[in-house]
């Protein structure tokens, strides 16, 4: 019975690796969208939603793994030689998960910097648009006043 739990734990770790690889792929897509000036905000929102769902999957996998590990912890510690191959496979998976997590953290930091730059750029563009519209409005007001002839008094006496 414990053998089955250990195999399920290994499957859980492998699923976690796949989810992390998918998160890594989504991060690359986000980076491309952030670097593209013509990218649609809705496309970026789609990637954020996709990543959110992947993170939920990660949390479920973590929770399930922790529960299984609590069940078999004593058995694994008591009979290490019987589970040597599975333990080595889990260690390999955990190393891979750690490496992927570090890569993802690096991607996230770079994407955060790109996002900050994007916000600064958008703010500057908004400021230019406001300045230009204010100037155009002021010009329009000035031009409208040129056509207005102020009232004049005419002296009709000779």
| Averaged pLDDT for residues 112-137 | 85
pLDDT confidence of residue 4: 83
Q: What is the DSSP string of 50-112?
A: HHHHHHHHHHHHHHHHHHHHHHHHHHHHHTGGGGHHHHHHHHHHHHHHHHHHHHHHHHHHHHH
Gap between the Cα atoms of 6 and 19, Å rounded: 20
For the stretch 32-76, pLDDT in tens is 998 888 888 888 889 999 999 999 999 999 999 999 999 888 888
pLDDT band at 91 (very low <50, low <70, confident <90, very high): very high
DSSP 38: T
- Report yes or no: 115 and 41 within 8 Å, Cβ to Cβ: no
Question: What pLDDT sits at residue 20?
Answer: 96
């Amino acid at each position: 019975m414990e053998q089955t739990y250990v195999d399920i734990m290994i499957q859980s770790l492998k699923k976690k690796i796949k989810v992390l690889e998918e998160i890594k792929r989504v991060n690359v897509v986000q980076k491309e969208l952030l670097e593209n000036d013509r990218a649609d905000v809705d496309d970026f929102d789609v990637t954020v939603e996709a990543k959110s769902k992947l993170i939920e999957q990660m949390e479920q996998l973590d929770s399930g793994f922790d529960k299984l590990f609590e069940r078999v912890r004593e058995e694994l510690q008591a009979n290490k030689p019987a589970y040597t191959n599975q333990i080595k496979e889990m260690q390999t998976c955990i190393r891979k998960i750690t490496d992927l997590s570090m890569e993802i953290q690096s991607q996230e930091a770079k994407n955060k910097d790109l996002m900050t730059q994007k916000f600064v750029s958008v703010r500057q563009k908004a400021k230019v648009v406001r300045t230009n519209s204010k100037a155009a409005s002021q010009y329009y007001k000035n031009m409208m006043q040129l056509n207005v002839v102020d009232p004049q008094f005419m002296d009709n006496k000779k």
